Amino acid sequence: MCEANAYLVKEGREELVLEDISILRPEKDELYLQNIFGEQKRIKARIKEMNLIDHRIVLEQG
Protein backbone atom coordinates (compact mmCIF):
# COMPACT_ATOMS: atom_id res chain seq x y z
CA MET A 1 0.00 0.00 0.00
CA CYS A 2 1.09 3.54 -0.64
CA GLU A 3 -0.05 5.49 2.35
CA ALA A 4 2.50 7.39 4.43
CA ASN A 5 3.12 8.20 8.07
CA ALA A 6 3.22 11.81 9.25
CA TYR A 7 5.79 12.94 11.81
CA LEU A 8 5.97 16.32 13.53
CA VAL A 9 9.44 17.68 14.24
CA LYS A 10 9.41 19.04 17.78
CA GLU A 11 12.57 20.20 19.52
CA GLY A 12 14.64 18.26 17.04
CA ARG A 13 12.75 15.01 17.54
CA GLU A 14 10.14 13.39 15.34
CA GLU A 15 6.79 12.58 16.91
CA LEU A 16 4.37 10.31 15.05
CA VAL A 17 1.16 12.19 14.24
CA LEU A 18 -0.82 9.71 12.16
CA GLU A 19 -0.07 6.46 10.37
CA ASP A 20 -1.23 5.20 6.99
CA ILE A 21 -2.35 8.56 5.63
CA SER A 22 -4.18 8.53 2.35
CA ILE A 23 -5.39 12.13 2.16
CA LEU A 24 -3.67 15.38 3.09
CA ARG A 25 -5.21 18.78 2.54
CA PRO A 26 -3.98 22.19 3.71
CA GLU A 27 -6.80 24.23 5.31
CA LYS A 28 -6.00 27.81 6.33
CA ASP A 29 -3.28 27.42 8.97
CA GLU A 30 -3.96 23.73 9.53
CA LEU A 31 -3.37 20.45 7.76
CA TYR A 32 -6.19 17.99 7.44
CA LEU A 33 -5.01 14.37 7.49
CA GLN A 34 -7.06 11.26 6.89
CA ASN A 35 -5.86 7.70 6.99
CA ILE A 36 -7.02 4.50 5.34
CA PHE A 37 -8.97 3.57 8.48
CA GLY A 38 -11.02 6.75 8.27
CA GLU A 39 -9.23 8.43 11.18
CA GLN A 40 -9.03 12.18 10.73
CA LYS A 41 -6.75 14.71 12.30
CA ARG A 42 -6.21 18.43 12.00
CA ILE A 43 -2.88 19.83 13.06
CA LYS A 44 -1.41 23.33 13.09
CA ALA A 45 1.63 22.50 11.03
CA ARG A 46 3.11 22.76 7.58
CA ILE A 47 4.88 20.27 5.39
CA LYS A 48 8.64 20.27 5.74
CA GLU A 49 9.32 17.39 3.35
CA MET A 50 7.60 14.35 1.95
CA ASN A 51 9.29 11.21 0.73
CA LEU A 52 6.75 8.87 -0.81
CA ILE A 53 9.20 6.05 -1.38
CA ASP A 54 10.02 6.07 2.33
CA HIS A 55 6.33 6.65 3.18
CA ARG A 56 7.25 9.68 5.25
CA ILE A 57 5.61 13.07 5.60
CA VAL A 58 7.62 15.34 7.86
CA LEU A 59 5.77 18.30 9.37
CA GLU A 60 6.94 21.33 11.29
CA GLN A 61 4.99 23.64 13.48
CA GLY A 62 3.48 26.45 11.42
**Residues of the shown chain interacting with a copy of itself in the complex, contacts defined by CB under 8 A:** 1-4, 21-26, 36, 46-53, 55
Q: Is 33 helix (H, G, I), strand (E, B) or coil?
A: strand
Q: What is the DSSP letter of 24?
A: E
Number of other CB atoms surrounding residue 53 within 10 Å: 7
Pick the closer one to a copy of itself by CB: 4 or 17.
4
Minimum distance between the CB of residue 5 and a copy of itself, rounded to whole angstroms? 11
Minimum distance between the CB of residue 17 and a copy of itself, rounded to whole angstroms? 15
Classify the C-alpha dihedral 62-43-22-2 as positive or negative.
positive
Minimum distance between the CB of residue 25 and a copy of itself, rounded to whole angstroms? 5
